[in-house]
Structure 1
């Protein structure tokens, strides 16, 4: 079962991972790829990443304080980013830092972390006395390190009540019944146990985020968000559909029975140097998937104009997920880390689609 604060720690790990990978690439490009260690030694930043990962693994083993988990999430994200950034050196015979597959591998690690995290967080929705009691004990452990927030205190009470409620199935195992008695006992003790509520004193960053949320809620009306989604989905969709030019160029070159200039044609549409049929195949596959996902976004925009909001948002969500999970793997191979800009735009649109669904479609 996932921890009660798993989502926050996972988010911090992912953000620091992405920032460290992109940050180190930008820094090295801006400074001419300097080397630490002189002419004899080369201290790669993967070593610093490994050191941070080692420290992150030691902290929860040595320190019995849940607050250290924030530091662990931060060090894990940065350490993994520094380590994975040099994956090209580890998988090539000539230690090629610029190996084209390095960028999609780093992106794949990011995606896998998201999927694994969602898998474990999803387990926290398990409904059983054992799961509810675990969640309650996790919150009680948190109260030993710091005062509970009002939200955490309410969640603790809800979990204990759920764990103490008798099940409808008379065939419940004896162990389940014992857990219900334990939860009932804790439910009687906790309200008078002196667990304190943390004073609500948000820091500057939290206050800034709260003000930003309130500003967005006031200004981001249904009409404004719908207009933004229409523009974003249409532009991104048409840009993706324009990859028909790639398909056409390759098809025309193949139609005369000669492939001698095929790689020259393909290199006009990629940032890396395409030298063989495999690279051309990757480019062609990316173009086909680009057209498919882009068409989904364009159709979603048309549906939104016609007032079919639910269908439009579902189609847009699937199209954006196709971009983020499949198309971008090929895009990172062909365009390298410049593809991160496209991924950020897609994530922003996906956030807009989700917000529109939650605030204006599901509530209508």
Structure 2
């Protein structure tokens, strides 16, 4: 990238890394937006589903894709559609429900089952909860340390040791523009540090939903704002930081999904237990 945006073919031009990182983020965002049909007018969403179903006629649809299409049909608000479109929704739902699908490959099903069993045995939800809270606290401390380092550089502090000065010279003499970018990154780092700390405290105090939500949003801000600016000053360190934060984001989303599934299972079991209790009392 540096070769194309500089006249001297400088591969290590500092602005190259933020451009590459930002392009990657935009690619991911566009892919995510393209894969969703949320917040789209019901008739447009219905048209897209109808087109996909029409293209699949004569072929066997994947079971997971059929479940996704049925979920999209259920998400369409009938009140926002005309009578003819409501009938189409019902017809598509009946067609997809009766459509034979390709079953999941045996090897893939076995690997999935083994992975879930390993996850449940060696990383149960209580243990994952403790690990994530500890990582959140460490992430908050790391963010505040980076904030302090940025404050030292912006303040222009110098030590008596040349090696320390050279290590702290993150702006590499590029002037006020570098300092402005560093200041914006510092503000974002402050938001991330506070978000991680408040999320960990809320989680520890029992407000799990708020804690997980704050943790996810703090991690997203760090991935999308802090790292874009930080990559200008430290490309290689930002790569490892971004990988660690991506793994943390995946773990948080995975915990949220597993916890939601556990709550649904518990809610389904309660009526059955109540019915059994009534039957025992009657007998």
TM-score by length of 1: 0.58
Pairing partner for 2:216 from 310, 313, 317 = 317
CA contact (8 A) 2:170 2:233 kept: yes
The Cα shift of 1:313 comes to 1.6
CA contact (8 A) 1:241 1:292 kept: no
Pairing partner for 1:119 from 22, 29, 33 = 33
Q: 1:91 to 1:313 in 2, by over 3 A?
A: same
Separation of aligned partners in 2, 1:161 and 1:306:
36
Aligned residues: 261
Q: For 1:312, what is the secondary structure of its paired residue?
A: helix
- Which residue in the other structure is 2:247 paired with? 348
Over aligned residues, Cα RMSD in angstroms?
3.9
What CA deviation, in whole Å up to 9, does each residue of 1:20-42 have, x standing for no partner? Answer: xxxxxxxxxxxxxxxxxxxxxxx
The Cα shift of 1:280 comes to 3.5
Separation of aligned partners in 2, 1:105 and 1:148:
39
Is 1:134 aligned with 2:48?
A: yes
Separation of aligned partners in 1, 2:141 and 2:23:
29
TM-score by length of 2: 0.72
- Which residue in the other structure is 2:277 paired with? none
What CA deviation, in whole Å up to 9, does each residue of 1:302-324 have, x standing for no partner? Answer: 22222222222222122111101
Gaps of 5+ in 1: 1-86
What CA deviation, in whole Å up to 9, does each residue of 1:65-96 have, x standing for no partner? Answer: xxxxxxxxxxxxxxxxxxxxxx2222111122
Q: 1:233 to 1:252 in 2, by over 3 A?
A: same
- Which residue in the other structure is 1:232 paired with? 135
- Which residue in the other structure is 1:215 paired with? 118
The Cα shift of 1:343 comes to 1.0
- Which residue in the other structure is 1:109 paired with? 23
What CA deviation, in whole Å up to 9, does each residue of 1:145-181 have, x standing for no partner? Answer: x522334445667778999x9x557x94xxx73x566
CA contact (8 A) 2:171 2:179 kept: no
Pairing partner for 2:61 from 148, 156, 160 = 148
Is 1:290 aligned with 2:189?
A: yes
The Cα shift of 1:361 comes to 6.3
Q: For 2:101, what is the secondary structure of its paired residue?
A: coil
Q: For 2:234, what is the secondary structure of its paired residue?
A: helix
Q: 1:136 to 1:234 in 2, by over 3 A?
A: same
- Which residue in the other structure is 1:54 paired with? none
Separation of aligned partners in 1, 2:155 and 2:43:
65
The Cα shift of 1:111 comes to 1.2
